[in-house]
Amino acid sequence: GEFAVTRRISILGATGSVGTSTLDLVERHPDRFRVEALTARRNVADLAEAARRTDARLAVIADEALLPDLEEALSGSSCRAAAGEDALAEAASGDADWVMAAIVGCAGLAPAMAAIDAGKTLALANKESLVTAGQLMMDRASERQVDILPVDSEHNAIFQCLGNRSCDDVARLILTASGGPFRTSTADEMSGMTPEQAVDHPNWSMGAKISVDSATMMNKGLELIEAHHLYGLPSEQIHIVVHPQSIVHSLVEFIDGSQLAQLGPSDMRIPIAHALAWPERMETPCERLDLTKVARLDFEAPDENRFPALRLARQALEADTSRPVVLNAANEEAVAAFLEGRIGFADIARLVEEALDGVEASAPASIDDVIALDQEARHFARDKIGEMV
């Protein structure tokens, strides 16, 4: 169908996996979307290229030292170059009415909050912002009457299954997990896995950090916390089921015993398109699901012994709101150290557990508190990593 209006959009993290998938869809429908702002951390060349292609008004590079490079790359175009934290917030709060939050990590929190404060519809891929500040974000979004559209495929599936209903008649949410590249590996085998093996996901092509999170299953732990904040259900009503084919993206079980699921091929452009067109629908070039070719769907219980990150994330959610901040910060530092070859695969969960035990804090009352605790937990984790190597 035809869109009633042109949607003005900004993409935070435009050079990443979710960001480029969003651009791909937007550029197929130039009549429906107008690009306002694009941002990236350090990738000046791709940022400038995308800004020129889409005729964006503003391009922001997070690393301020790269502003001269961005200005040069945009010279002669009508796109303005800017850099740094304030410029990121400007990209989130400027003229767009729809903002894609696709920065990876807690670094995406402040720009996502800026978008909410400015009353933008927020398409949220950046799960770490909800993990670290879910309560504060959801409260602010409801004050500002902002719609948060979940882009993470599981949460988008649940959003679709719920339709416009509230969670009053929901018995539980069932998050599916692919199990990652090490689903069938033993704990011994896993401890020797390299970064190359860990980022080689069987079903999805994603950024390096979330790929490692899928291998440890911390990704599903973060998604458990994300689901809690988005849908307001307690930990015991959010279940995890391993489903290696990644065809059923998640399910909702209602109080009468009925379960609704959303199915589709493993292509992030489908949940992104859902958020881009919402409350309408739009066409995508994605492959269609043929269940006769899929032939079978398997489901199994997750193994918290081989994947301790699942247990740690659930414990963090069930404790006070300081624990998910510590869990996430230690995980970000551990994953970065693992990708640099400084620590082993099994050290990731070990380090997260040490941080959860070692970094004490009260529940953060503001975004500034969250950011301060995030920094403190990162320092703790970096010190521990220093002792390990």
Name the site residues for ligand NAD (rule: CB under 6 A). Answer: 13-19, 40-41, 43, 62, 102-104, 107, 125-128, 152, 204, 206-207, 209-210, 268
Q: Which does 137 bind (CB under 5 to 8 A by kind): Mg ion, ligand NAD, none?
A: none
Name the residue nearer to ligand NAD (CB basis): 125 or 177. Answer: 125
Of 223 and 253, nearer to Mg ion (C-beta) is 223
Using CB under 5 A as the binding criterion, the count of chain residues that bind Mg ion stands at 3
Select 205 or 387, whichever has its Cβ closest to ligand NAD: 205
List alpha helices for the chain, DSSP H: 17-28, 44-54, 67-73, 85-93, 109-117, 127-143, 153-162, 187-191, 195-198, 208-216, 218-231, 269-277, 291-294, 308-318, 322-339, 345-358, 367-388
For residues 221 to 260, the per-residue mask of contacts with Mg ion, x marking binding by CB under 5 A and - elsewhere, is ----------------------------------------
Round to whole Å and give the CA distance between 83 and 103. Answer: 15
Nearer to Mg ion, 250 or 284 (CB): 250
CB of 154 to ligand NAD, least distance (A): 8
Stretch that binds Mg ion, among 59-67, 145-153, 231-239, 334-342 (CB under 5 A): 145-153
Q: Confirm if 216 and 123 have CB atoms less than 8 A apart.
A: no
The binding site for NADPH consists of 15-18, 42-43, 126, 128, 207
**What is the closest distance, in whole angstroms, from the C-beta atom of residue 256 to ligand NAD in the complex?**
31
**Identity of residue 355:** A
Q: Pick the piece of the chain touching Mg ion (CB under 5 A) from 60-68, 78-86, 146-154, 324-332.
A: 146-154
DSSP character at residue 119: T
What whole-number distance in Å separates Cα of residue 150 and Cα of residue 29?
21
| Burial 226-261, CB ≥16 within 10 A → b, else e | bbbbbbebebebbbbbbbbbbbbbbbbbbeeeeeeb
Binding-site residue ranges for 1-deoxy-D-xylulose 5-phosphate: 127, 153-154, 178, 201, 214, 219-220, 223
Q: Do 88 and 12 form a contact (C-beta atoms < 8 A)?
A: yes
Whole-angstrom Cα distance, residue 192 to residue 202?
19
Task: Choose among Mg ion, ligand NAD, none what residue 125 binds, the Cβ cut-off being 5 to 8 Å by kind.
Answer: ligand NAD
Stretch that binds Mg ion, among 6-14, 134-142, 147-155, 157-165 (CB under 5 A): 147-155
Residues 6+ apart with CB under 8 A from 210: 17, 104, 219
Question: Distance between alpha carbon 349 and the CA centroid of its chain, in Å?
Answer: 19
Query: Which amino acid, one-letter code, is at 319?
Result: A
Calpha distance 211→21 (Å, rounded): 16
Classify 80 as helix, strand or coil: strand
Structure token digits, residue 13: 């993290």
Indicate whether 152 belongs to the interface with Mg ion (CB under 5 A). yes
**Annotation: binding site:** 15-18, 42-43, 126-128, 152-154, 178, 201, 207, 214, 219-220, 223
Helix, strand and coil percent figures for the chain, each rounded to 5: 50, 15, 35
Comparing CB distances to ligand NAD, the nearer of 110 and 138 is: 110
Q: Are 109 and 372 in contact (CB under 8 A)?
A: no
- Which does residue 220 touch among ligand NAD, Mg ion, none (CB within 5 to 8 A, set by kind)? none
Query: Of ligand NAD, Mg ion, none, which one does residue 15 interact with (CB within 5 to 8 Å by kind)?
Result: ligand NAD
CB of 350 to Mg ion, least distance (A): 24
Residue 201: CB minimum distance to ligand NAD, A:
9
**Residue 310 near which of Mg ion, ligand NAD, none (CB within 5-8 Å, type-dependent):** none
121-124 and 98-101 strand pairing: parallel
Contacts with Mg ion by CB under 5 A lie at 152-154
